[in-house]
Amino acid sequence: MSEKVCFAKCSCFISERRVCAMIVIYVLLALAALAIAAFAVKMARSILARRYYEKQGVSFVTTYPFIGSEVDVTDLIGRNKTRDYLYTEEKKSDFVGSIRGFDIQLYAINKETTEKLINPSNFGVTIDRDTPALYSFGQLSPAALTFTPIQTKFFHERKANILKGFDIERMDRVSRRLAEEYCDRISGDANLDMKQVVADWTREVMGEFVWGRAAMDAVVPYKDEAGREFRVPFMRALNETFTRLRFYSNRFWNRVYFPIATWPVTREARYLQFNIKALQDHLAVSLTEEPARDSVSWDVMKGNEELGIPMHVTRDDLLTVSIAGLDTVQSMTLATLWYLLLPENSGWKQEIRTGAGEDREEVVEACINEAIRIDPPGSVINNKVIKDFDLQGPGGTYHLRKGTRIMPNIHALHAVYGAEYRPERFLETRSKKDLYVMPFGKGKRSCPGRTIGMLMAKNLVGEFIARNPDTVILNIEDEHIRFNNLSRSKLMLDLSHSEEKVHEVA
Ligand code: HEM
């Protein structure tokens, strides 16, 4: 009798477990079915949205639902170009479109439509900031100005506080002193990796400028790509983490669906999150101390404090100014040196060497401007239509719908003038006026670091060319050399002949 009871209880127990397992399976299947249905609806919507814009005359590059044009972008990245180059060929319409995840992305490719996008009556009213960069280097400083819509309280005051901290004379002193020191150090090197030199130099200049000299000694924990943990200087950890975040978010699936870059599903994502936390923890302590008086951090901290801006916002604004001028200034300096050191451009090198005073400054600046016209370090930051509106372009009226990603394409605007390196475009007053270029963006969201970034590059390029006139590019035969924020190109130099010549001249 007792055995029977026991048997009955067991079978009942087993069937209960089965029922539970079946319920779990059904729930999972239902969830999967819902997810697939939601995915299908979103895909259908993006296909319809594409049709909607195509009917209005927008031409699209090759795009597949969800995957967008990422296959072609991968091909570009392999050649050290960025996605922006995908849109340089198309000239027929005012906008070129693409699909990014579930969104439609429109790029303005001519002056007229670009001017409409940056116009104050549209910017912050019908268009505002919304950028995938938030899932990339934005993980370091999500509350920073770069990712903040213009309508946000204190946006303009925060930008003004940053600009107040940008003391031009101090930047001139710091970048000149360090340019001289670095040029001393590399003198006569027969096999120099100039990319590494410029990376170290930009980091040191920006670190001292933003935080003051003493802060450069602070060290933080840092995990490299192999997962090894070290204690490294704060600016080094920040620079490496920033660059790695950008490269990581540029992997195929992270480009297709941006939030994947933040999921801790790969080792690299977990190491990067470790580094982000270490940097933020470090700042949580150091921002409670009095900032160095002669630094950007002084003006930003004091200015933001007066307005009652929360500390994490100030932290993120300071993080953003510490990193925004690293890879950008590095790319712009390397691109300029590359063009100046090519044998066919020796005339410009000579002008820099022999010139003096303001004329020389102007020539260096023109050489830099022309380098970043051909190879802009980055692009403008993405925005979204926040309210339906009609935009009148030369090709007709476009009915832009809320949720559409939209931005000017710097590369398409610059490519109109061809790929030939001709710095004179930026010297002659008339041609300067005719040029419509925007390597630093334009309008309310343009780059606040333009003047100091240009000054940095001018000081290093000027010093380097003066000291190393006969430098030889060692990797001139390398394929696809380009310098921008996502390029892996190197600049290998032989400086061993230059010093002899300098002494001969002397
Ligand atoms: C010198 C090379 C540089 C280039 C080519 C460059 C380029 C750009 C571009 C294209 C934008 C986006 C503009 C837009 O969306 O319309 C931008 C924004 C920004 N840049 Fe730069 N930049 C450079 C250096 C710097 C430096 C040195 C700093 C600061 C130390 C800086 C700080 C910023 C900030 C904070 C923003 C965001 C502005 C906003 O969202 O309103 N940049 N930069």
Residue minimizing CA distance to atom 28 of ligand 1: 449
The pLDDT, as a whole number, for residue 16 is: 84
- Measured between its terminal Cα atoms, the distance across the chain in Å is 114
Task: Report the nearest atom of ligand 1 relative to the CA of 155.
Answer: 41
Cβ-in-10-Å burial (0-12, 13-18, 19+) of 442 comes to middle
Count of other CB atoms within 10 angstroms of residue 26: 10
pLDDT score, position 402: 97
The ligand 1 atom at the shortest distance from the C-alpha of residue 377 is: 5
* Sequence-separated (6 or more) residues with CB below 8 Å from residue 257: 66, 101
Q: What is the CATH number of domain 155-383+435-505?
A: 1.10.630.10
Report the separation in Å between the CA atom of 146 and the middle of ligand 1, taken as the mean of its atom positions.
8
- Which of 47, 70, 82, 63 shows the shortest CA–CA distance to 257? 70
Beta strands per DSSP E along 35-102? 59-60, 95-100
**Dist. CA 25–CA 27, nearest whole Å:** 5
Going by CA atoms, what residue is nearest to atom 41 of ligand 1? 445
Q: Pocket of ligand 1, candidates 131, 211, 365, 440: which has the most ligand atoms within 8 Å of its Cβ, to mutate?
A: 440
| Low-confidence residues of the chain: pLDDT under 50 | 1-5, 500-506
pLDDT of residue 500: 47
Interacting residues of 140 by C-beta distance below 8 A, sequence separation 6+: 238, 241, 242, 245, 276, 279, 280, 316, 319, 323
Structure tokens at 342: 């090519």
What is the structure's pLDDT at 416?
Answer: 93
Residue nearest to atom 36 of ligand 1 (CA): 447
Nearest CA owner, ligand 1 atom 43: 447
- Residue 92 three-state SS: coil
Structure tokens at 153: 């309280």
Q: How far is CA 233 from CA 261, 295, 409, in A?
A: 26, 18, 36
Q: Which amino acid residue places its CA nearest to atom 19 of ligand 1?
A: 447
CB 106 within 8 A of CB 71: no
106, 58 Cβ separation under 8 angstroms: yes
Do residues 120 and 444 make contact, with C-beta atoms less than 8 angstroms apart? yes
Which atom in ligand 1 lies closest to the alpha carbon of residue 317?
A: 35
| Rounded Cα gap, residues 225 and 423, in angstroms | 39
Structural contact between residues 256 and 68, judged by C-beta atoms closer than 8 angstroms: yes
Q: Ligand 1: distance of its center to the CA of 191 in Å?
A: 32
Q: How far is the CA of 484 from the centre of ligand 1 (A)?
A: 14
3-class SS at 292? coil
Which residue has the least CA distance to atom 27 on ligand 1?
A: 325
CA of 164 relative to ligand 1 center, distance in Å: 15
Please write down the HEC assignment for all residues of 146-168.
HHCCCCCCCHHHHHHHHHHHCCH
For 325-343, give the secondary structure using H, E and C: CCHHHHHHHHHHHHHHHCH
Report the greatest alpha carbon distance in the chain: 114
Of ligand 1's atoms, which has the minimum distance to the CA of residue 457?
1
pLDDT over 70, % of the chain:
95
| 23 alpha carbon – ligand 1 mean position (Å) | 54
CA 176 to centroid of ligand 1, rounded, Å: 21
| C-alpha of residue 494 to centroid of ligand 1, in Å | 32
3-state secondary structure of 95: strand
- State the closest ligand 1 atom to the C-alpha of 332, by its place in the atom list counted from 1: 2
Q: How far is the CA of 210 from the centre of ligand 1 (A)?
A: 15
Torsion of CA 247, 248, 252, 255, to 10 degrees: -90
Ligand 1 atom 9, closest CA: 440
Q: Cα separations (Å) of 48 from 167, 215, 245, 340, 391?
A: 50, 53, 33, 48, 20
pLDDT given at position 264:
97
CA of 137 to the centre of ligand 1 (A): 14
| Backbone dihedral angles phi then psi of residue 233, each to the nearest 5 degrees | -55, 145
Residue whose CB lies within 8 A of the most ligand 1 atoms, among 140, 336, 447, 450, for a mutation test: 447
Number of residues written out for the chain: 506
Atom of ligand 1 nearest to the CA of 209: 30
Q: Please, are residues 187 and 466 in contact by the beta-carbon 8 Å criterion? A: no
> How far, in Å, is the centroid of ligand 1 from the Cα of 157?
17
Distance CA 114, CA 103 (A): 20
Atom of ligand 1 minimally distant from the CA of 445 = 41
Please list every protein residue whose CB sits less than 6 Å from any atom of ligand 1: 145-146, 159, 320-321, 324-325, 328-329, 332, 377-378, 380-381, 439-441, 445-449, 452-453
H helix and E strand count, the chain: 18, 13
What's the 41 CA to ligand 1 centre distance in angstroms? 37
Cα(446) to centroid(ligand 1), Å: 7
> What's the pLDDT at 498?
64
d(C-alpha 458, C-alpha 179), whole Å? 10
Rounded to 10°, the helix 450-467/168-186 angle is 30
Per-residue confidence (pLDDT) for residue 172, from 0 to 100: 98
Is residue 138 packed enough to be buried (19+ CB in 10 Å), middle (13-18) or exposed (0-12)?
buried
Q: What are the distances in angstroms from CA 326 to CA 180, 196, 242?
A: 19, 12, 9
Residue of the CA atom closest to atom 20 of ligand 1: 447
Domain boundaries, the chain: 155-383+435-505
CA distance 74 to 67: 12
Q: What is the pLDDT of residue 504?
A: 43
Computed from CA positions of residues 243, 248, 252, 253, in that sequence, does the dihedral angle turn out positive or negative? negative
What burial letters (b/e) apply to 282-294, b meaning 16+ CB within 10 Å?
bbeebeeeebbee
Residue 230 C-alpha to ligand 1 middle, in angstroms? 30
- CB-CB neighbours of 229 under 10 Å: 13
Tell me how far the alpha carbon of residue 166 lies from the centroid of ligand 1, in angstroms: 13
pLDDT on residue 9: 55
pLDDT at position 1, please?
A: 40
Atom 42 of ligand 1, residue of closest alpha carbon: 449
Are 325 and 206 spatial neighbours (Cβ–Cβ below 8 Å)?
yes
